[in-house]
Amino acid sequence: MPSFYSYHTSPWGPLLIFADGQYLTGLYFADEGHCPPIASDSIENEDAYPFSLTIEQLNRYFEGSLREFSLPLMTWGTDFQKRVWQALTGIPYGKTMTYTQLAYQVGSPRSTRAVGQANGRNPVSIIVPCHRVIGADGSLTGYGGGINRKRALLEFEARNCPV
């Protein structure tokens, strides 16, 4: 199956989006450390499915009118990583959770470090809201897109979150 990619502008920098023609497979800040290289056989095609749906929902999120994404996702990772990524989708818009709370939620209370590593390997940032996970002391730690972007995303959501 062919793989596709496209770039999209966000208020916090360029995004690199990956898809396989059926599923969204990646969303990264183009300059972040975990952003994979574009495969030599990938095709730049902003019309490939589900790019238009992804971009429409991202734009609504950036406008403050979308709180939860509904996109066809296909992610590759260990079973543990997938459990963590699934749990991330349950953190409400404008709210945060600590790594320790997330470890308890996925049934591995002694695996805070592993939860942090899985969180950092999230292949669809923003959509699976790994930016909503914070340190036990409330500090902003460990975001692949950078702490400044994590802060900006959390502040953005807090401003747009109804009380």
pLDDT digits 0-9 by tens, 56-65: 999 999 999 9
Catalytic position from the list 124, 130, 133, 154: 130
**Do 118 and 155 form a contact (C-beta atoms < 8 A)?**
no
What is the C-alpha to C-alpha distance for residues 22 and 73, in angstroms, rounded to an integer? Answer: 9
Name the pTM for this structure: 0.91
Q: What is the pLDDT of residue 156?
A: 95
Q: Does position 2 have pLDDT exceeding 90, yes or no?
A: no
Beta strand 4-10 with 13-19: parallel, antiparallel or unpaired? antiparallel
Return the structure tokens found at 72: 């066809």
The pLDDT-based confidence of 10 (bands split at 50, 70, 90) is very high
**82, 61, 72, 69: which is closest to 22 by C-alpha?**
72
Query: Would residue 130 show up in a list of annotated catalytic residues for this protein?
Result: yes
The stretches of the chain forming alpha helices (DSSP H) are: 51-63, 79-88, 99-105, 112-120, 147-160
Q: What is the pLDDT of residues 95-150, one digit of tens each?
A: 999 999 999 999 999 999 999 999 989 999 999 999 999 998 888 987 878 889 99
Quickly name the fold that domain 79-160 has.
Arc Repressor Mutant, subunit A (1.10.10)
